[in-house]
Amino acid sequence: MYAAALARRYLFARWIHLVGILGIAVGVLALVVVLSVMNGFIQETRRMARGSLADIIVTPRPREGERIGPYADYEKVLRSTPGVAGCAPRFLHVALISVGRSTNFMRTSAALGARNAAQLIGLDPEAEAGVTNLAVALSNPPLDRTQGDSRVADPAHPFAPPLDVLSPEDREAPPRAVVVGEQLYRNLRLHRGQTIDLATATWTASGNRVRPINRHFAVAGTFRTGEYEYDLSTILLPREVLAREFLEGEEDFSEIVVRLEDPSRGAEVVREIERRLAAAELPGTFVEDGLGGRSEFLYVETWEERKRILLGAIDNEKRIMAVILFFIVIVAAFLLFALLSTTVKEKTRDIGILMALGAARGGILGVFLALGLTITLLGEALGLAGGLAVALNLPAIEQWLKHHLGLEIFRADIYIFDRLPCEVDVTGVVLILAFTLTAGFLASLIPAWIASRKHPVVSLRYE
């Protein structure tokens, strides 16, 4: 076809066509970059949630007067379930933190956005190995070194007393140690070896009253998962310490994290675990309807179900951003439409000439369609190249903007991560390119069709 050859000549004959190329390039670039960031958010959230939660979380829900435990009974059932690679017990509790002699911690906590409240997680470091990424979180280098290296001395034994930093009198009878999330550590301006008070409440032995408990601990060091909220609100301590000191040893765990051999079989294994725990008639695993349906008392869920609101929110945001940004492409398509319409007008006499030489309507349509598609494809190529260049170098670009222009694009206290995640999604990029090509095609089709419907003689007379 001569259409492509003529379209190529026309493309370079009018420099204004460059505007169309740039318009499409800007749309594609914005889409590639923003959707890469949103995709990065999702992927990073998944990685972190899976890292700290493992694949499946089992949370027995005891009925009134029932107590769950011992853990060993549950462990036996879980380890015999096919598909389970490992499991670890955890004890979750909530505490208020008091640092130093300050008595107004309850008041300041509200002013500071409840940062004096912490999620206590009691765990067994040995059991966590191979199930969660605790070891990684303990050895991640600190993000901010202004408070020195705050990591624990030995990641294999995180709750060992920090003898290297304790005062001589504390060294004689070291207090029990806790590991604090790095963001919380920075927020409260803690230092290793410092003593903090954790205050909480529990039931009285008779079980009908709430009673306050208060213990003090030494800060052994910090961990960093990279999930900002988690690192801002979590304190880790040995499971048996939490059970004994705060809950008087009545129960020894509150949930179990389970690692699977094949994470994609999560839903299947969840059902199998439910069935087996119910069959073993362990406390808190009572299945209400007795027909194998899900019980309201037993909660076995995958990490994705646990994090579904967050994951759903980010995914929803990604969709909204995609819709908004696709409008850029649509605007670029309108630009292309306007450009091609003026080109068709300007080339009216050429259209008459081509018709006089025997061009059929399809041929004329082809010339301007080829022109529009060439502009679209060049814009896509440019936008893709630029978008990938930005997306792949985003952390460096963000740092540069921060240092040289004082523009802080990414704020860790607003988002959930301590750095800007970015991951190019190939399927997404293909969809962007396909959508843009479709928009470019439709925008070109109308002017091209108008060109093809022109009357040869009227076109030849056009001045």
Partner 1 sequence: MSEPPLLEVRDLRKSYRVGGREIEVLRGIDLALARGEMAALLGASGAGKSTLLHCLGLLDVPSAGSVRLRGVDASSLSFAQRARTRNREIGFVFQFYHLIPELDALENTLLPRWIGPGAGPRRSSWEERDRAGALLGRLGLGDRLLHRPAQLSGGERQRVAIARALFAEPEIVLCDEPTGNLDSRTGSEIVDLLLALNRESGKTFVIATHNPELARRCPRRVRIEDGKILDGARVGGDPGPGHAG
| Residue 335 in contact with partner 1, rule: CB under 8 A | no
For 244-255, b/e burial (b = at least 16 CB within 10 A) is: ebbbeeebbbbb
Q: Residue 341 Cβ, how far from partner 1 at the closest point, in Å?
A: 19
Q: In the complex with partner 1, which residue's Cβ is closer, 152 or 339?
A: 339
| Residue 353 in contact with partner 1, rule: CB under 8 A | yes
Residue among 53, 84, 196, 355 that touches partner 1 (CB under 8 A):
355
| Interatomic CA distance for residues 81 and 172, integer angstroms | 46
Q: In the complex with partner 1, which residue's Cβ is closer, 174 or 456?
A: 456
| Interatomic CA distance for residues 355 and 361, integer angstroms | 8
Q: In the complex with partner 1, which residue's Cβ is closer, 118 or 364?
A: 364
Q: Which stretch binds partner 1 (CB under 8 A): 50-58, 229-237, 300-308, 359-367?
A: 359-367
| Residue 354 in contact with partner 1, rule: CB under 8 A | yes
| Residue 352 in contact with partner 1, rule: CB under 8 A | yes
Angle between helices 426-452 and 308-346 (to 10 degrees): 30
For 205-219, b/e burial (b = at least 16 CB within 10 A) is: eeeeeeeeeebebbb
Residues 6+ apart with CB under 8 A from 427: none
Q: In the complex with partner 1, which residue's Cβ is closer, 359 or 416?
A: 359
| Residue 5 in contact with partner 1, rule: CB under 8 A | yes
Burial of 431 per CB tally in 10 Å (0-12, 13-18, 19+): middle
| Residue 94 in contact with partner 1, rule: CB under 8 A | no
Q: Which stretch binds partner 1 (CB under 8 A): 118-126, 182-190, 323-331, 452-460?
A: 452-460
Residue among 79, 271, 345, 361 that touches partner 1 (CB under 8 A):
361
> Of the candidates 307, 165, 303, which has an alpha carbon nearest to the alpha carbon of residue 222?
165
Q: Residue 362 Cβ, how far from partner 1 at the closest point, in Å?
A: 8
| Residue 460 in contact with partner 1, rule: CB under 8 A | yes
| Residue 320 in contact with partner 1, rule: CB under 8 A | no
Q: Residue 304 Cβ, how far from partner 1 at the closest point, in Å?
A: 54
End-to-end alpha carbon distance in the chain: 28
Residue among 62, 83, 175, 363 that touches partner 1 (CB under 8 A):
363
Residue among 252, 350, 380, 418 that touches partner 1 (CB under 8 A):
350
Cβ–Cβ under 8 Å, residues 50 and 263 = yes
Q: Residue 443 Cβ, how far from partner 1 at the closest point, in Å?
A: 22
How many angstroms from the chain centroid is the CA of residue 87? 24
* Helix or strand (DSSP H, E) at 234: strand 234-238
Q: Residue 356 Cβ, how far from partner 1 at the closest point, in Å?
A: 5
| Interatomic CA distance for residues 243 and 246, integer angstroms | 6
Residue among 2, 203, 327, 400 that touches partner 1 (CB under 8 A):
2
Tell me the residue length of the chain.
463
Q: Residue 5 Cβ, how far from partner 1 at the closest point, in Å?
A: 4
**At 260, is the secondary structure helix, strand, or coil?**
strand
Interface positions with partner 1 (CB under 8 A): 1-2, 5-6, 9-10, 13, 349-350, 352-363, 456-457, 460
